[in-house]
């Protein structure tokens, strides 16, 4: 697997976690920047801080608490990451996805990814929720794919087809959940493009990313999706559009991480309602 921990390391981490909780989740949820509030809805929760888990990286980004939450959400047994790892924190790409490998070892079959992202599609608005239909792995296209390095076939194949990364059935289910909640007007669907970060885009970069076909841009998620698919998991992803990228010099906006977190907080209620209903409707 990539350049990272061995299959045995992942089994060891998983064995440690299984001793700390009796929950046996089939669904794994990753909370994006400022979107960890979903963790508050988990019942009968067992919380394991990352710094107590052997070989786990540390969360360094505000809005990412650094805890695994096991428990029941809408009748489903889940494991939820309150905080993910990013390449820009200094972690190699493979390291950012250790928790996804561990989730699979724990028995998770379905991966629900969320993130905060900048809008590139001029028809989008701040506060919209975008279902990820497809992605562009910009680091991967330039030689930093998360699967780079020796491949262990016990995880998955050397050459992974990625045309079907995002599960269509779960996307349709999310659309019907949004309609049921009256959120269809803010629901979008599109292509998420991953950059390394931590810089937000220049105007020229935003134009480039838009011309590449991106509808939203962020600094995570894609490596997690690829690793999930590498291990045969079903993957679904959703972006909260926390800011609009500047596509012209006349409308230069200076996005800050505080803006991102503030929109996350403002939209937390709707996002939690939507995510909960999606989870409720899912067949695992």
Ligand X SMILES: Nc1nc2[nH]cnc2c(=O)[nH]1
Taking CB within 5 to 8 Å according to partner kind, which of ligand LQZ7MJT6, ligand X, none is near residue 220?
Answer: ligand LQZ7MJT6
Q: Tell me, by CB under 6 A, how many residues bind ligand LQZ7MJT6.
A: 13
Does position 83 bind ligand X by CB under 6 A? Answer: no
H runs (alpha helix) in the chain: 7-18, 93-96, 98-106, 138-139, 168-180, 203-212, 222-230, 257-266, 268-281
Give, as ranges, the residues between 252 and 271 that touch ligand X (CB under 6 A): 255, 260
Q: Using CB atoms, what's the residue nearest to ligand LQZ7MJT6? A: 32
Does position 219 bind ligand LQZ7MJT6 by CB under 6 A? Answer: yes
Taking CB within 5 to 8 Å according to partner kind, which of ligand X, ligand LQZ7MJT6, none is near residue 195?
Answer: ligand X
Tokens representing residue 110 in the block: 């379905």
Does position 260 bind ligand LQZ7MJT6 by CB under 6 A? Answer: yes
**Which CB atom, from 228 or from 264, has the smaller least distance to ligand X?**
264
Tokens representing residue 82 in the block: 């309150």
Report the Cα 51 to chain-centroid distance in Å.
20
DSSP string, 7-76: HHHHHHHHHHHHTT-----SEEEEE-TT-GGGGGG-EEEEEEEGGGSTTPPPP-STT---EEEEEEETTE
Binding site for ligand LQZ7MJT6 (CB under 6 A): 32-33, 61, 84, 86, 115-116, 197, 218-220, 257, 260
Residues that bind ligand X (CB under 6 A): 116-118, 195, 197, 200-201, 217-219, 242-243, 245, 255, 260
């Amino acid at each position: 697997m990539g350049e990272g921990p061995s299959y045995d390391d992942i089994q060891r981490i998983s064995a440690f976690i299984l001793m700390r909780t009796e929950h046996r989740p089939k669904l794994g949820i990753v909370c994006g920047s400022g979107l960890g509030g979903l963790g508050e809805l988990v019942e009968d929760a067992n919380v394991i801080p990352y710094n107590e888990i052997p070989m786990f990286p540390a969360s360094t980004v505000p809005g990412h608490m650094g805890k695994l939450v096991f428990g029941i959400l809408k009748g489903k047994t889940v494991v939820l990451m309150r905080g993910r790892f990013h390449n820009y924190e200094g972690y190699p790409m493979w390291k950012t996805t250790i928790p996804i490998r561990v989730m699979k070892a724990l028995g998770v079959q379905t991966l629900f990814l969320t993130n905060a992202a900048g809008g590139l599609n001029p028809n989008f608005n701040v506060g919209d929720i975008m279902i990820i239909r497809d992605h562009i792995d910009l680091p991967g296209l330039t030689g930093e794919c998360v699967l780079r390095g020796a491949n262990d076939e016990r995880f998955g194949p050397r050459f992974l087809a990625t045309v079907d990364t995002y599960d269509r059935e779960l996307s349709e289910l999310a659309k019907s959940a949004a309609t049921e909640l009256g959120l269809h007007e803010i629901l979008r669907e599109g292509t998420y493009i991953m950059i390394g970060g931590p810089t937000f885009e220049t105007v020229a970069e935003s134009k480039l990313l838009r011309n590449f076909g991106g509808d939203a841009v962020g600094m995570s998620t894609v490596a997690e999706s690829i690793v999930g698919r590498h291990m045969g998991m079903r993957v679904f992803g959703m972006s909260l559009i926390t800011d609009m990228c500047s596509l012209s010099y006349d409308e230069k906006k200076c996005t800050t991480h505080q803006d991102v977190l503030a929109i996350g907080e403002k939209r937390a209620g709707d996002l939690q309602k939507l995510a909960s209903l999606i989870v409720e409707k899912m067949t695992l």
